[in-house]
Amino acid sequence: VAFRALVPRGPFELTGADAVTAKFVQWFGGPDSFEIVDASIGPIGSKTAVRWRVRMCAADGAARVAEQHLFVTGAALIESIDLLCSGLHAEGNTR
């Protein structure tokens, strides 16, 4: 899989299923509780558009939200992912 991403720290690229999996585990696989609060999926030309908003809560109850938009190619296996991420934000922070 080829993975290109634009995140608040800047763009990056990864290649290979293990590297891509490790990145998602880094983002979402920690001790915080994790909840998908909204999501959508649908075709756009030859790609599939995927969007999700997640809420992550630390043990102290502090909640953060993030939204990611992906454009994915591939049929049986994912061949490429282009991702745009909002970054994590304190829940309820509108600034």
- What tens-digit pLDDT sequence spans the chain (95 residues)? 999 999 999 999 999 999 999 999 999 888 889 899 999 999 999 999 999 999 999 888 889 999 999 999 998 899 999 999 999 999 876 55
Token pair 């049986």 in the structure block, residue: 76
Token pair 């920690």 in the structure block, residue: 30
Q: Are 38 and 64 in contact (CB under 8 A)?
A: no
> What is the C-alpha to C-alpha distance for residues 92 and 85, in angstroms, rounded to an integer?
18
Query: Residue 39's pLDDT is what?
Result: 98
pTM: 0.87
Q: Are 49 and 42 in contact (CB under 8 A)?
A: yes
> What is the C-alpha to C-alpha distance for residues 35 and 53, in angstroms, rounded to an integer?
9
